[in-house]
Structure 1
């Protein structure tokens, strides 16, 4: 098993309530996902996440190949964190924690992602060649997009 860890931290100049309102709404995920992933929410989703929420998507994670993805929101502590886990899709394991805490400059948002693409030696090769770079690229894009959506005031 080759579980990878990606951790990302970002301070946003907004309140924790504003952060929670934005990130706990499943429909906002499209806004912070790279366009080349052709990300689309297929299921009807509520305004806010809750434990047990199943979300169906179509994504194009690699080489333009379209595939279904299903995640479940497994844990929610309002204004503090929520966790989404893949139930079916391109990864063997996908466990993504979204944490929020007050910060002197606004809110500190921390993402902790554990993922494994599986598939034995082929997964290892694909991971080394492009999957790990793609996952990091998604979070790099998200970082820049959030800075544009929530700019620091001069």
Structure 2
């Protein structure tokens, strides 16, 4: 049985809901919250619209040893100001389902990322998860946490 892993992170953002939503629902801001060593680049045509169901976003990213990978996600669900969900269509994961939830709280917004993911290659994928994938995702979200705090701080 293949393992489906879960990563969940919650962050308080000291900003109005609309400001947080505007930032995170704009795919052009993804590179700003991704560590520079990953060389994350949006490759889909420029689109100044906020996320919408059916939107396809393509990127290149170098998560491991500088090797570039193509990644394509589709925005599958959006509730304006509340949440959006992206799913990988092409990329390094066998499954990638990423929920972004926003909730107004006193003094700002509580943002929760919930990611269900599965790696390819059966037991080799599980080993890779144990050796470096989990740690890399945790480091990515730790970086994102710091950048978001600085940006909205």
Q: TM-score, normalised by structure 2?
A: 0.96
Structure 2: where are the runs of 5+ without partners?
A: none
Partner residue of 1:109 out of 98, 108, 111 = 111
CA distance in 2, matches of 1:39, 1:150: 21
Preserved CA contact (<8 Å) 1:11 1:105: no
Preserved CA contact (<8 Å) 1:54 1:72: yes
Q: CA 1:56–1:8 in structure 2 vs 1: closer, same or farther (change >3 Å)?
A: same
Partner residue of 1:86 out of 77, 85, 88 = 88
The structural deviation recorded for 1:124 is 1.2
Partner residue of 1:138 out of 125, 137, 140 = 140
DSSP-derived class of the 2:57 partner: strand
Aligned pair count reads 151
DSSP-derived class of the 1:79 partner: coil
CA distance in 1, matches of 2:100, 2:39: 22
Preserved CA contact (<8 Å) 1:2 1:118: no
Q: TM-score, normalised by structure 1?
A: 0.96
Give the equivalent residue in structure 2 for 1:70.
72
**Hey, which bits of structure 1, 4+ residues long, moved more than 4 A?**
none
Structure 1: where are the runs of 5+ without partners?
A: none
1:1-154 mapped onto 2 (5 Å cutoff): 1-47=2-48, 48-151=50-153
The structural deviation recorded for 1:45 is 3.9
DSSP-derived class of the 2:72 partner: strand
